Structure 1
């Protein structure tokens, strides 16, 4: 394997296979240029018109896709995963990239937002031009980002808010395959198959991932999940709900956690822990298709509400057993690692400045953002490996990953 400042690029792209080998060489050069001029535009990163024109041709080439650009990374992450031990946290989340274009129809839209009121007091709405990306980031329990296990890009030609849809149809009766939320299941399946060790993976998501079909899929694949729940489902025999049962569970532990107030000052508060294993039923409209599951409900609630920030109130759901206070605290720590994917998104947008790209169509933008994903992961990894194992050479060898606590 090559050595040098950007030797990692060779390892990341070794698994890429293009119809024309010249495309592989161009991707390698582009990754080197964009990583060396992070945040700069394509012309500034490429330095001269010949390389700039070649970059534009690469992103316009129909024989290149975002999956092609990420194929090598997906191949190399298997080595990173194999080089570590212990639980593997697979964090899923969605982010939006907004753009301003003269012809927004070439990209698509993400959402309609309120623009304020006009002179007559009527609310104005405008459509945001942009793309959406749903990614799965593999992280050790110590917070070291091993890489991306799956990435899905899409855009909308039409947008209908959830409230509008509910006026016409009960969303719980719509098959998951017909919803955008199927992306959570698709990424879970891809990463589980890609890493090849289902029992080791814990798939983590925020309240948007509180999907009964996802819970069933984890059991089918032999893997695990830990999500923040927002749905008060039927429990036990169906004559009560999860919240009703948990309200009667006595406090089983108290944990001191560090928090920041509205002025950014760090302090300590006490959080009460309650947890219980429950039989949870699927939505009424899907009980013929899915069976009841026995899951663990874990609540962490701050004892007193403060005026300068929201009260800590986490409601987590997992298929993992929680029998002791130590196990409950462990699961809370794992869920707190979910913030790592937000950091990854911040590097993409603030570091690489992906939303300042001037490419004019969705298919070209996703190819560019896929390359930015590689740059962002590398920056994030370099930052965290220096904290996790400061004495290890952060080169291309997987020895760096193996040296981290796992």
Structure 2
């Protein structure tokens, strides 16, 4: 009698043998126009959730189910967007009852550099080596908006787009290589993904009574994003990447205004907080004492923004929160954050709230770690990019599910942030 890998795992107690019904709850409304495909999705989702670290063959009960799974991913009538929208609907339902939801955006690069026979992947990175010109890494670019409560509970995805970089002709490539990529409008840049996700996550009718705050790292420090958010009253918290000139009387007066860092450095310290850093990258865990400052300022549109040719760009009234470490151990780089937001900050408690929200941005990095290191999605070989997108879509929901139950079990709902003075 031949015993499958899955049966061995069941006997060892590593796999849940019975369906919990979660797949029916999460994907039950998906309609592919064929009931067999809808049932196939539920069976695949249950199998993968029960053996998340396994390959497709190992996760399936037998060869017949494996064959059905491969056929599912190969089926061109399977639209991954329908799968996502079913999950988005459940995420919005879980958001009810929470007055504020953090919509955390981030980009992850799924590398299939060793899968040379996989078709349609696209380039996600390129560099020049001494012996090899134009060395390229192939894979997919995954941009996700992850919904988290202000207590840190991950409740699901609100948006996701899996894409790749198009092959550029020489003229367009030259434009993209110009200083700061200013020769192209934002709609023709990769950074448009931040704005598209911002707009999509703020147009759920069911979340009209919720405060949906977009939270992003430094890559989203873009005037165009802030303009869209401020125009439509979409709240955001974004970590600053550049020390731009602010409070200018006019975009044409070069000598007016001041640097944002200078403005914040002369702002009075409003209090101190203590934050615990976990051990990582061969560095021991440590506790840091941080000074908190906040102020308001006017962000002026960049003079070289190509949109000046067609319309007048507005000045934006924003707030900044500065978090600077007072002293560090020898060899340690001091923590220094600058957070930008269009939400009013009038006191120390409101500034701390924005810091806490940004601390929760690491939730999406944990989600990506589960997806890539835990579920090992980069090891999957399905032969084409389109099949991999369908696979990554299902595995993204499973990665959220694992994270959700882990947080519930461990009750780790808050970042290690404590007040010292105020």
Tell me which interval the TM-score lies in, with the shorter structure as reference length: 0.7 to 0.9
Q: How far apart, CA to CA, are the structure 1 residues paired with 2:400 and 2:386?
A: 22
Aligned to 2:289: 270
Q: Provide closer, same or farther for how the CA distance between residues 112 and 352 of structure 1 changes in structure 2, counting only shifts above 3 A.
A: same
Cα 1:185–1:198, aligned 2, differ >3 Å: closer, same or farther? farther
User: Once the 2 structures are TM-superposed, how far is the Cα of residue 231 of structure 1 from its aligned partner?
Assistant: 2.1
Q: CA 1:146/1:199 → structure 2, altered by over 3 Å: closer, same or farther?
A: closer
Shift of 1:108: 1.4
Q: Which residue does 1:237 correspond to in 2?
A: 248
1-structure distance, mates of 2:182, 2:277: 36
1:180 aligns to what?
A: 190
- The equivalent of 2:333 in structure 1 is 310
CA offset at residue 90 of structure 1? 0.7
- The question of whether the paired residues in 1 share the 8 Å contact of 2:213 and 2:235 is answered with yes
**What corresponds to 2:21 in structure 1?**
7
Give per-residue Cα distances to partners, 1:30-56, cap 9 Å, x unaligned: 001111111111111113222112111
Q: Residue 163 and residue 59 in structure 1: after superposition, are their counterparts in 2 closer, same or farther (change >3 A)?
A: closer
Partner SS state of residue 242, structure 2: coil
Pick closer, same or farther for the CA change 1:341–1:167 going to 2, 3 Å: closer
Deviations 1:118-153 (A, max 9, x none): 5xxxx7652001111000000001110010000001
Contact 1:111 1:159 in 2 (8 A): no
Which of 137, 141, 149 is the equivalent residue of 2:158? Answer: 149
Q: Partners in 1 of 2:142 and 2:393 — Cα distance?
A: 10
- SS of corresponding position for 1:237: coil
Deviation of the 1:15 alpha carbon: 2.5
After TM superposition, which residue ranges in structure 1, 4 or more long, deviate above 4 angstroms? 162-167, 260-264
1:69 has 2:88 as partner: no
Are residue 323 (structure 1) and residue 346 (structure 2) matched?
Answer: yes
Matches of 2:304 and 2:75 in 1, distance apart? 45
Equivalent in 372, 375, 378 of residue 395 of structure 2: 372
CA offsets 1:146-176 (integer angstroms, 9 cap, x no match): 100000010124379x997565465235211
| TM alignment of 1:7-406, pairs within 5 A | 7-82=21-96, 84-99=97-112, 100-103=114-117, 105-113=119-127, 115=129, 117-118=130-131, 125-158=134-167, 167-168=177-178, 171-194=181-204, 195-197=206-208, 200-238=211-249, 239-240=256-257, 241-260=259-278, 263-286=282-305, 288-388=311-411
Secondary structure of 2:182's counterpart equals helix
Compute the displacement of 1:71 (Å): 2.2
Shift of residue 185 of structure 1?
Answer: 0.9
Contact kept, 8 Å, 1:144 with 1:381, in 2: the verdict is: yes
2:121–2:140 contact (8 Å) kept in structure 1: yes
TM-score (norm. length: structure 1)? 0.87
Q: Which runs of 5+ in 1 are unaligned?
A: 391-406
1: distance between equivalents of 2:364 and 2:210?
22
Summarize deviations over 1:289-336 as a string: whole Å, max 9, x none.
420011001110111243343210001100111121222111111100
Structural RMSD (CA): 2.4
Q: Is the 8 A contact 1:199 1:223 kept in 2?
A: no
1:104 CA displacement: 5.1
Which 10-residue stretch deviates more, 40-49 or 247-256? 247-256
Structure 2 gap segments, 5+ residues each = 1-17, 250-255, 414-422
Aligned residue pairs total 380
Asked if structure 1 preserves the Cα contact closer than 8 Å seen for 2:239 and 2:337, the reply is yes
Q: TM-score, normalised by structure 2?
A: 0.84
- Say if 1:19 and 1:63, in contact at 8 Å, map to a contact too: no
- SS at 1:193 equivalent: coil
Q: Which has the larger displacement, 195-204 or 73-82?
A: 195-204
Q: CA deviation at 1:250?
A: 2.6
